[in-house]
Amino acid sequence: MASVLVVDDDPAIRMLLVKAVGSLAGLVTSIDQAHNGVVALKQLGAKKYDLVLLDMHMAGLDGRQVLRIATASGLNQDTPFCVLTADGSERTRTEALANRAMMFVTKPLHVATFLALVTPVLKRAARLGLPTPIEEMISPSPPSRGIKR
């Protein structure tokens, strides 16, 4: 079973993500939440996650900084990060993917498409009890509407 960390400063979006991921019955054992980057880093240091859903734009320590710090310090070293952002610019996408994010999803979030993207990661984690290596998750198929890789 998989463990997920949801990091977003917007409580409504956090709830949407928790409900969406929680709807994948039998795949997820725990869903933790963080309302900012500082709390997220503390949680990443205290527990192993199979997937981190990370907002890029938050007050204080933002998603970019969380990615950089987590990568530099080796926190949840093999855990895939899925970046969620309203900023679909090429600069933001490139920066996120260069700093450990393996998925880049733009808001507004299309829940069915989002779940189709994260379900294989969670299935593998649930089956093996291990985080999915990023190389195994990169699909040669074209991205769905609203999702950029």
Give mean pLDDT, residues 88-97: 89
Lowest mean pLDDT among 18-22, 42-46, 106-110: 106-110
Q: Predicted confidence band at 145 (pLDDT cuts at 50, 70, 90)?
A: very low
Task: Please state, in angstroms and rounded to a whole number, the distance separating the CA atoms of residues 52 and 134.
Answer: 13
Answer yes or no: CATH 3.40.50.2300 is held by domain 2-134: yes
> In the numeric block, which tokens belong to residue 130?
């291990």
Please say if the pLDDT value at position 146 is more than 90. Answer: no
Q: Which residues contact 141 (CB under 8 A, 6 or more apart)?
A: none
Please say if the pLDDT value at position 138 is more than 70. Answer: no
Q: What is the pLDDT of residue 44?
A: 97
Please say if the pLDDT value at position 148 is more than 70. Answer: no
Contact 57, 88 (CB under 8 A): no
What is the DSSP code string of 65-77? HHHHHHHHHTTTT
This prediction has a pTM of 0.83
Percent of the chain past pLDDT 90, that is, above it, reads: 65
In the chain, count of helices (H) and strands (E)? 6, 6
Please say if the pLDDT value at position 135 is more than 80. Answer: no
Please say if the pLDDT value at position 128 is more than 90. Answer: no
Task: Please state, in angstroms and rounded to a whole number, the distance separating the CA atoms of residues 139 and 81.
Answer: 16
Task: Please state, in angstroms and rounded to a whole number, the distance separating the CA atoms of residues 29 and 107.
Answer: 26
Give mean pLDDT, residues 62-75: 93
Helical spans, DSSP H, in the chain: 11-22, 37-46, 63-73, 90-98, 111-128, 134-137
Give mean pLDDT, residues 90-103: 88
Task: Please state, in angstroms and rounded to a whole number, the distance separating the CA atoms of residues 117 and 105.
Answer: 9
What pairs with residue 148 in β-bridges?
Answer: 104
Please say if the pLDDT value at position 147 is more than 80. Answer: no
All structural domains of the chain with their residue ranges: 2-134
Return the amino acid letter for 83.
V
Kindly report, residue by residue over 16-28, the tens digit of the pLDDT. Answer: 999 999 999 889 9
H or E element, residue 52: strand 51-55
